[in-house]
Amino acid sequence: MQWINENLYISPINTYIDPYKPVENAIITHGHADHAKPGHKNVLATKETINIMKIRYGENCAENFQELPLNKTLKIDNVKITFYPAGHILGSVQVLAEYKGEKINFTGDYKTKKDKTCENFEPVRCHTLVTEATFGLPVFQHPNEHNEIKKLLRSLQLFPERPHVVGVYALGKAQRIMGLLRQQRYDKEIFIHGALEKLCNYYIKENVFLGKFSKTNLKDKKEYQGEIILAPPSAIKNVWSRKFEDPIICQASGWMSIKQRAKQSLVELPLIISDHADWNELTDYIKLTRAENVYVTHGRDEAIVHWCKMNKINGLALSLSGREDEEDL
């Protein structure tokens, strides 16, 4: 990548993609904190990502914002920038950069499975693919998310007297779990931790159906018997979750496929539901793009690089700074 370096800096237009510290010009792929940082001078992103950044960091978290709709091309000097859906969360995109006949696609975080809470993933052909690899090991093969949600509903039937407290990331995962429950015709009110409220309300504003939900009010412990309560993973590990009477602790995450990780988190009912591509999704997409070069930004990069070399594709690990694994993905 002669015109883009290992820090995802596009030199012809002095612009970074998902920089981990404040810069003059930033393209932001989505609103998660390890990709969207406050303090940039100029931000280019989707309308949804800009709004999410303002909800999380405040209206003035960047000096200037510019919206770029999906599938629309913006020409900046001699570089063309196009956003394509990444299927990760609401507003998430892949960034296709074109310069002097070369196409480089940056996936950001993505999944290829269908999701009614965001625009579904759209494949992009390119010469070079810059991909994540959060779950880039053959052992990671995510099960059907509808079957995982059925585990939660079966547990509710078996233990109708116990509240089910589900650890979910506030942005994306919480709303996806709510949507999956509604698809299984669960029409009861869902209770949420206060930390999820603003983002859930924003999803509603963007016409994402979540059904009836309300913030928990812990005046009466027995009020939540047989109910579903969604909360950040940090909340289910502290005194907050102990305010419920004999709760079943659950967590929705791709990492729940690792049994030891679930045990360490004191999770009684692990739900393997991820907003990231698994091994098959990652390798299938690399093949589909017909990319000659693959650069891995973060995650389990060694296995993906090895797979690329075995398939006669140039592979390289970038090991970017500031891309921390979120415990609740």
Residue showing tokens 């102990």 = 242
Q: Quick check: 176 pLDDT over 70?
A: yes
Identify the three-state secondary structure at position 83: strand
- For residue 264, the model assigns a pLDDT of 84
Q: Quick check: 107 pLDDT over 60?
A: yes
Range with the poorest average pLDDT among 2-6, 49-53, 142-146, 285-289: 2-6
* Average pLDDT, integer, range 124-148: 97
Q: What span, in angstroms and rounded, lies between the C-alpha atoms of 260 and 215?
A: 31
pTM: 0.94
- For residue 238, the model assigns a pLDDT of 83
> Token pair for residue 280?
């098959």
- For residue 327, the model assigns a pLDDT of 44
Q: Quick check: 92 pLDDT over 70?
A: yes
Question: What band does 145 get if pLDDT is binned at 50, 70 and 90?
Answer: very high
* Backbone angles phi and psi of 299, in degrees to 5: 110, -150
Identify the three-state secondary structure at position 203: helix
Percent of the chain residues topping a pLDDT of 70: 97
Task: Output the CA–CA distances (angstroms, integers) from residue 87 to 102, 119, 162, 188, in the order listed.
Answer: 24, 6, 34, 27
Q: Quick check: 190 pLDDT over 60?
A: yes
Q: What span, in angstroms and rounded, lies between the C-alpha atoms of 317 and 221?
A: 50
* Stated length of the chain: 329
Q: How far apart are the first and last CA of the chain?
A: 30
CATH of domain 145-271: 3.40.50
CATH entry 3.60.15.10 includes domain 9-139+276-317: yes
Question: What band does 266 get if pLDDT is binned at 50, 70 and 90?
Answer: confident
Beta strands in 109-211 (DSSP E): 128-133, 164-167, 190-192
- Name residues whose C-beta falls within 8 Å of residue 133's C-beta, 6 or more positions apart in sequence: 282, 296, 297, 298, 299, 300, 301, 303, 304
Domain boundaries, the chain: 9-139+276-317, 145-271
- For residue 132, the model assigns a pLDDT of 96
* Average pLDDT, integer, range 256-271: 91
* Backbone angles phi and psi of 255, in degrees to 5: -70, -10
- For residue 222, the model assigns a pLDDT of 77
- For residue 328, the model assigns a pLDDT of 44
- For residue 323, the model assigns a pLDDT of 58
Identify the three-state secondary structure at position 33: coil
